[in-house]
């Protein structure tokens, strides 16, 4: 089946630093999604990408849909303590009926 | 306000008890899902439903069962809880043909002693 490899698994950074994480897939997706999960809560959608090459921003967050449709990355600029959490990528395609394939998550820790 | 709710948020019970985790959404979504997630780990789909009276098993085998009698309600039941069922259970919903992915509830953290 489809697999998503998300890296890095964890990051420990200083407040103010930029962060980059990515996901690669063994097969093509039509849509890439990036979620953030705070401790003890459910994932919240941050950014959705629908076209290969698409670059989308949401505040300090920027995500791109890779040209090959097999990868995506998420950047966070000027990190702040509330960025702490687990970031998940997810892919889906039109044939999957909204079914999502999730990456393993990137745990982000920010030192004030 | 459109939202997705899960109750209880936390549950600690003894082995052998029957439990039902509740999930309700007010967005009128046809599709609903249950995921199991160990702390800090990836999400595993255990059940999903494409509408009333439709339920399917997900990728991860689970001893739980689900029902979908009403569009807005998708409860998950464990007939006899065991310590191996200790985990976080996340409910989600999505709209048919939607491009915005799935909306998640806050989760139920289950501990079986």
d(CA A107, CA A94): 29
User: What pLDDT, in 10s, does the model give residues A61-87?
Assistant: 999 999 999 999 999 999 999 999 999
Q: What are phi and psi of B84, to 5 degrees?
A: -65, -15
For A:24-63, CB contacts with B below 8 A are 31, 33, 35, 40-45, 48, 50
DSSP labels, B36-89: EE-TTS--EEEEEEEETTEEEE-SS--S-EE--SBTTB--EEESS--GGG-EEE
CB pairs under 8 A between A and B: 56
- CB-based contact (8 Å) between A86 and chain B? yes
Supply the pLDDT for residue B1.
Answer: 58
User: What pLDDT, in 10s, does the model give residues A5-52?
Assistant: 999 999 999 999 999 999 999 889 989 999 999 988 999 999 999 999
Band of pLDDT at residue B44, cut at 50, 70 and 90: very high
For B:61-100, CB contacts with A below 8 A are 90-92, 94-96, 98-100
Given a cut of 60, whether residue A1 has pLDDT beyond it is no
């Amino acid at each position: 089946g489809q697999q998503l490899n998300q890296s890095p698994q964890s990051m420990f950074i200083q407040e103010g630093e930029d962060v980059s994480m990515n996901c690669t897939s063994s097969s093509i997706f039509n849509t890439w999604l990036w979620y953030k999960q705070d401790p003890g809560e459910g994932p919240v959608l941050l950014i959705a990408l629908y076209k290969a090459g698409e670059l989308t921003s949401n505040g300090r967050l920027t995500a791109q849909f890779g040209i090959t449709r097999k990868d995506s990355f998420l950047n966070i600029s000027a990190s702040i303590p509330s960025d702490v959490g687990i970031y998940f990528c997810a892919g889906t395609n039109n044939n999957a009926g909204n079914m999502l394939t999730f990456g393993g998550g990137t745990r982000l820790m920010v030192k004030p | 306000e459109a939202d997705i709710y899960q109750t209880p948020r936390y549950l600690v019970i003894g082995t052998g008890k029957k439990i039902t985790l509740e999930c309700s959404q007010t967005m009128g979504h046809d599709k609903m899902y249950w995921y199991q997630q160990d702390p800090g780990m990836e999400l595993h789909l255990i059940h999903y439903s494409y509408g009333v009276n439709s339920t399917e098993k997900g990728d991860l085998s689970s001893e739980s069962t689900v029902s979908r009698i009403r569009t807005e309600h998708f409860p998950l039941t464990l007939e006899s809880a065991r310590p191996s069922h200790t985990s976080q259970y996340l409910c989600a919903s999505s709209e048919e043909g939607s491009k915005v992915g799935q909306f998640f509830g806050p989760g139920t953290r289950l501990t079986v002693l």
